Amino acid sequence: MAIKTKKILVPLDGSKNALRGLDMAIHLARQSHGTITALSVKSVPGIYALHPLGFMGFDNSSEVKKLLDSAKVRAAKKGIQLTGKSISGDPGYDIAKFANGSKNKIDMVVIGARGMGAAKELFLGSVSNYVLHKSKKPVLVVK
């Protein structure tokens, strides 16, 4: 049974491992003639994530825009279409929720083993560990 991987989700936070994940996703997308969705999640403190007016300017953040634009160029050089999206919230939860959402039609998640977060776990970062266990889609963790 062949698994069709047409839409790959790659969480990006600017870390070296996230870029390695992006490179792996580009490689997989080339093999399967698929596309990539790059997702950047701005971590916000719990109570502010619920506030309707909090962090309104995040989507216009120049740092995130540069990150997603750079990822688009990196993918385009290999002939792959990449769509960037940025949101605010809890990175692990929101990445898993995005991957599992039926409207997003994600086939696979490719995530760096450890990102920019302060929490360090023995083998995996806390975000990649959460996504690995909560995603209903296949997850490839890249070191």
pLDDT digits (tens, 9 = 90+) for 10-51: 999 989 999 999 999 999 999 999 999 999 998 876 555 455
Fold of 19-32+40-51+58-112+123-142: Rossmann fold (3.40.50)
User: In terms of residues, how long is the chain?
Assistant: 143
pLDDT digits (tens, 9 = 90+) for 81-131: 999 999 988 999 999 999 999 999 999 999 998 765 544 444 456 899 999
pLDDT score, position 44:
74
Contact indicator for 117, 110 with CB cutoff of 8 Å: no
pTM for the whole structure: 0.84
Rounded Cα–Cα distance for residues 21 and 87 (Å)? 19
